Every structure is written in C-alpha cells, then in structure tokens.
Amino acid sequence: MSKRFYITTAIDYVNGQPHLGHAYEKIVADVIARSRRSFGQEVFFLTGLDEHGQKVQQVAVAEGKTPQAYCDDLAPVWKAFIARLGLTNDDFVRTTEVRHKTVVQSILSKLHAEGHFYKAIYRGFYSTKEETFLTDKDRRPDGSFDPSYGDVIELEEENYYFRLKAHQQWLIDYIEKNPDFVCPESRRNEVLGFLKHNVLEDLCITRPANRLNWGIPIPFDPDYVTYVWFDALVNYISVPAALADPVAARAVNYQPSTINYPLSAWPADIHVIGKDILKFHSVYWPIMLKAMGAPLPKQIVVHGWWQKDGEKMSKTTGNVVDPIAVINEWGVDAFRFYVIRELDIGPDGNWTDEGFKARYKAELADALGNLVNRSLSMLKRYRNGVVPSQSNELAADAEKVVTETRSLLEQNQLQSALQTIWSLVTRANQYVDHTAPFKLAKDPTKAARLDEVLYNLAEVCRILAVLLWPFLPETASKIYAQLGLSGAPDKFAAAGWGGLKAGHSIGTPAALFPKKEP
Ligand code: ME8
C-alpha cells in the first residue's frame, strides 16, 4: 500500500451561501489533485463542512430547526455546489458525522490523559461572532474592537486550556528548517514573525455546554463541548483514521471497527487554506499533531482573498459573485479558467465582470477555441478528417511547454502553468497564420505541405487537451472527443509528441466557447 498524495481544503462553515472565495479554494485544490493523478500518483482529496458552533446554533434556532436538521438541510446544497465546480474529491467530511466526532473525542481523551490540558477561569472580552476571547492586542488604536468581531461582551468563564508554551521554540525551528512548510514565503514570514514576537497563549479548547451545546461533548467532562477549531482542524486526520490509515489511526488512538478501506494518506501533503486561518493551521494544528505524536503535514498553501470591483464582497450590499450563476451562463471551465488565470496563489484578487468577459473572449474563445476549431475543421474539410503522416515541426515547441508545465504544476504554480500552456496556443495560432493552410489547400502541388501543417495542428490540439485536463476538464474531454479519441486526456504521459497516428479519423469539430453577444 503506497502512500497517497493527500490534499485537503478548509472545511466551509455550513451557515452561509457558497461564494467565490469558497469556489476558488476548492478549484485550486482540485487542479492540484487532478494534476497529481495525471502524473500517475494516487491521490486522496478531501473537502467538507464545518457544522458546529454558536453561529450555526443561533441561525438554526432562528429558523425553528434543530442545529442537526439545519445542517442536514444545507449539506446537500454544499455537495451540489462542489459537484458543479467539477471537483474530484474522494471524500466529503461533515463534522457532525460519527466517524469524525469519535476521533475528536479520542484525541481529547488521549491528550487529557497525558496532561496537555488544565482547567482555569478566564475573565475577558468575547466575540460571539468569531467565537473567541479577545485581548488588548486585538484593540484598535482608539481602544475599540474591530467591527468584524461583532458584538463584544465581557465574560467570566471556566474552561479547559491546551498548554502551548512548551511548543513555541520547536515550531519556530521547524518552520525555519522547512522553508516549504508554509507557502508562499510572505505567509511563512508572517507566522515566524508572530511566533518570534509573541509568547504563545494557551489555547482555550472548550465552551461550557450551558452556553453552547452545539458541539462535540468533551469525553472527560459532560459540562463542556469542544471549541470549534479543536473540532474542525481534526477533520484532516479523522477521515484517514476512520478509513483505517495506520499512521492516522495510531496517532488519534482509534481503531475503526470495519477496515473496509485501508488508506495510506497521513501525513497530508497539502492543506489549501485562505489567509485568515493561517494561524490556526500553521501554529495550533502542528502543535496539536505534535502533542498527539503524529507526523506534521508537509505543506500549508495559503491563498489570498477575492474582492469584487475593488471592494470586500458582502451580501448586505449585494457586492457578490455567485459562482453558480456564472457557471450556468458561461460554463464551469470558463469559471475555473478565470479564477486560476487571474489570481496567483498568495496575493488578493479582484473579480470584475469586464475582466471575466475579456478573458473569456480573448483567451478562451478567440485563442484556444479558435485554434481547435479551425485546426480540426480544416483537417475535416481538406483531408476528410483523416490524420496525415506524422510531422514534427511544432514538436520542440510543444515539448518545451510540456516540460515547463509539468515542473510548474509540481510546484503548484498554477497561474504560471496556464500562461505557459497559452504560449503554445499562441504559437500554434501564429503557425496557422504563417503557413496559411487555407491557401495551401487551393494549390494541389502543396498537398504534402498541407499534410504537415494539418498534422502539427491536430497534434498540438491533442497535447493541449492533456495539459488542460487539470484546469478545464470538460474542454479537455471535448477536444479529445472532437479528435475522435476515446477515454479522457487524464494521463500526463500522453503529452509526448506523436500520439496521433496517421490514418486515424477524427470526430466532429464544434465550438468550444461560443461567442456571446457583448
Ligand atoms: O474559515 N476569498 O470557514 P469559512 C478567498 N470553517 N477565500 C475566501 C474568501 C474570499 N473572499 N472568504 C473565505 C472557515 N475564504 C472554517 C475553516 S478549516 C479546518 C475550518 C476562504 O467558510 C477562507 O479563507 O469562513 C477559508 O479558507 C475558506 O474560504 C472557508 O471559509
């Protein structure tokens, strides 16, 4: 049983509409997952929902439902959402599932027995919205708390705490010795700065059940439930443990009763997350794992946040992008293309409808779509759709792009990979313009030259399908089908030059990206 390449996303809060930010993160992870599978690696791709906590409890009560019924109603909406994005996740976790709750409790029991927790009274300011205690460090210069914390109340409460101080130095050393642990570098520096300039406060890991009962009960004290983050972060290891991953199961002290799916996934290779939850993933999560005796994830990939038209997206002002509406109008691949092409993993991004339409027109319809359509239409018209003998005029260009794309995908440089792939699209379009096959076709003495040109164009289209598969799976499959090839273009190894054989009959060309009225 070889270890799978294990990739996760943040699990989304169930109480809210799936939005552009959620969609972006999941597509980033999906592109990485698909590319690794295409390289021949076995992959385990996990996403899911974060369902406990005060916010869910409050909304459920307001809607006259139990929190569980509320989550059960919303979970299918989220599952339909990720299906619409074309995700290839292998599992979908809900933190209300027994398999997850059992593992959270098992970890709590283990760490409690080993003396990692203590109980203490804390008096302080509390943000219900963020479900967190605030300190003076969270105050703005004028002494007030940022409105993003919502109503801040004074609270005195006895809770369980996780001892963190002993973990500070090894974590600093670890992040320094492992430059790829937190990516991009700016986020790594942010974590190191935080760890070096602050004394780590112990982490409050419970909430009293009489104030909040929508959470996982603490196994050693029925008066408490688990704090949302000690619950949510655990999903990354609870699912492998439940699927009988030996490393995960050992670390969380849990043996699933039925071993029907022996998985080898832990440690995770990549956690894809947004910048706002960096501290939870790069400070608390590694410390939790270290305390459990589990190997740490290999990499935390941190993406930026999307705005719309230069402003924060907000339902109240109506300044939102509804991914499903965009997909319904333009197709899933246009959406996947725009978010990955527009925003590199790291900085913040800005969605504009004009920008989206401009990329659709220039890069998808006029560049890629036109290349495939005219290449295959000419092959159909001039050679009855039968592939001529192999010619290698564009082989070197294609091979260079294939090598570069692979290397960029291996480094999760998704935006650059798309740019590189488009350099081949541009090259091939220029080749059409320079060789002018429509003129060659009029001159019978140029038949051999026309054969060469048509072969090169069809073969570039085939290679593009393979390169595009992780990004634009529907389009890649359509190109394959139009080329008359069976199966999916899902094996990177097929990107070598010369895959199209002389005498092969292609299928029917059709527009990949229909032009839209302005
Ligand atoms: O934080 N642009 O859930 P969540 C890009 N349940 N990404 C965005 C974004 C935006 N405008 N808004 C949110 C949670 N995100 C927790 C996670 S993980 C163990 C628990 C990203 O629904 C955000 O950064 O608020 C996060 O990575 C993900 O969407 C889910 O956010």
217 - beta bridge partners?
225
Please state, as a whole number, how many other Cβ atoms lie within 10 Å of the Cβ of residue 312.
11
Checking DSSP bridges between strand 152-162 and strand 203-204, what pairing results, if any? antiparallel
Pocket test for ligand 1, best of 8, 26, 104, 277 (most atoms within 8 A of CB): 277
Q: From ligand 1's centre to the CA of 13, what distance in Å?
A: 8
Residue 260 has pLDDT above 80, yes or no: no
What does the DSSP assignment read for 50-94? E--SHHHHHHHHHTTS-HHHHHHHHHHHHHHHHHHTT---SEEEE
Q: Which residue has the least CA distance to atom 19 on ligand 1?
A: 233
Residue 434 has pLDDT above 80, yes or no: yes
307 - beta bridge partners?
350
H helix intervals, 260-349 = 278-279, 285-292, 323-330, 332-342
How confident is the model over 30-64, as pLDDT tens digits? 999 999 999 999 999 999 999 999 889 999 999 99
Atom of ligand 1 nearest to the CA of 236: 19
pLDDT at 258: 64
CA distance 517 to 152: 50
Amino acid at 510: A
Measured from CB, residues less than 6 Å from any atom of ligand 1 are: 10-13, 21-22, 24-25, 50, 232-233, 273-274, 276-277, 305-306, 313
Coil, strand or helix at 4: coil
67-84 vs 323-330: helix crossing angle, rounded to 10: 30
Return the sign of the alpha-carbon dihedral for residues 105, 107, 113, 118. negative
Task: Kindly give, in sequence order, each residue whose CB lies less than 8 Å from that of residue 256, ignoring residues fewer than 6 positions away.
Answer: 99, 241, 242, 243, 244, 249
First CA to last CA across the chain, in angstroms? Answer: 54
Residue 448 has pLDDT above 80, yes or no: yes
For residue 242, what are the CA distances in angstroms to 43, 251, 394? 17, 12, 50
Pocket test for ligand 1, best of 25, 226, 237, 314 (most atoms within 8 A of CB): 25
485 backbone φψ class: left, alpha, beta (φ>0; ψ -120 to 50) = beta
Q: From ligand 1's centre to the CA of 233, what distance in Å?
A: 13
pLDDT at 314: 86
Atom of ligand 1 nearest to the CA of 276: 24
Atom of ligand 1 nearest to the CA of 313: 11
Q: Which residue has the least CA distance to atom 12 on ligand 1?
A: 21
Amino acid at 191: V
319 - beta bridge partners?
314
CA angle 132–135–138, rounded 5-degree value: 90
Residue 326 has pLDDT above 80, yes or no: yes
pLDDT at 302: 98
Are 468 and 458 spatial neighbours (Cβ–Cβ below 8 Å)? no
Q: Which residue has the least CA distance to atom 21 on ligand 1?
A: 274
Mean pLDDT of the chain: 96
CA atoms within 13 A on the CB side of 192: 18
pLDDT at 283: 98
20-38 vs 414-435: helix crossing angle, rounded to 10: 70
Return the sign of the alpha-carbon dihedral for residues 219, 220, 222, 223. negative
Atom of ligand 1 nearest to the CA of 232: 19
pLDDT at 252: 95
Q: Which residue has the least CA distance to atom 27 on ligand 1?
A: 274
For the chain, give the number of residues: 518
Pocket test for ligand 1, best of 17, 235, 276 (most atoms within 8 A of CB): 276
pLDDT at 328: 97
Atom of ligand 1 nearest to the CA of 275: 24
How confident is the model over 218-248, as pLDDT tens digits? 999 999 999 989 999 999 999 999 999 999 9
Q: From ligand 1's centre to the CA of 271, what distance in Å?
A: 13
Q: From ligand 1's centre to the CA of 397, what distance in Å?
A: 40
Coil, strand or helix at 263: coil
Residue 192 tokens, joined: 């190191």
What does the DSSP assignment read for 343-409? --SSS-EEE-HHHHHHHIIIIIIIIIIHHHHHHHHHHHHHHTTB--S---TTHHHHHHHHHHHHHHH
Atom of ligand 1 nearest to the CA of 233: 19
Unique residue bearing structure tokens 């030996």: 246
> Predicted confidence band at 138 (pLDDT cuts at 50, 70, 90)?
confident
Q: From ligand 1's centre to the CA of 202, what distance in Å?
A: 24
Are 271 and 236 spatial neighbours (Cβ–Cβ below 8 Å)? yes
Q: From ligand 1's centre to the CA of 273, what distance in Å?
A: 7
Atom of ligand 1 nearest to the CA of 16: 22
Q: From ligand 1's centre to the CA of 173, what distance in Å?
A: 28
Mean pLDDT computed over 406-416: 98
Atom of ligand 1 nearest to the CA of 10: 18
Q: Which residue has the least CA distance to atom 29 on ligand 1?
A: 22
Q: Which residue has the least CA distance to atom 31 on ligand 1?
A: 12
Are 483 and 507 spatial neighbours (Cβ–Cβ below 8 Å)? yes
Residue 201 has pLDDT above 70, yes or no: yes
pLDDT at 318: 86
Q: From ligand 1's centre to the CA of 12, what distance in Å?
A: 6
CA distance 106 to 253: 6
Rounded to a whole number of angstroms, the CA Rg of the chain reads: 26
Q: From ligand 1's centre to the CA of 274, what distance in Å?
A: 6
Residue 317 has pLDDT above 90, yes or no: no
DSSP state at residue 457:
H
Residue 445 tokens, joined: 């003495």
pLDDT at 315: 80
Please state, as a whole number, how many other Cβ atoms lie within 10 Å of the Cβ of residue 12.
21
Residue 518 has pLDDT above 70, yes or no: no
Q: Which residue has the least CA distance to atom 4 on ligand 1?
A: 12
Q: From ligand 1's centre to the CA of 133, what distance in Å?
A: 20
CA distance 346 to 271: 14
How confident is the model over 333-361, as pLDDT tens digits? 999 999 999 999 999 999 999 999 999 99
Q: Which residue has the least CA distance to atom 3 on ligand 1?
A: 12
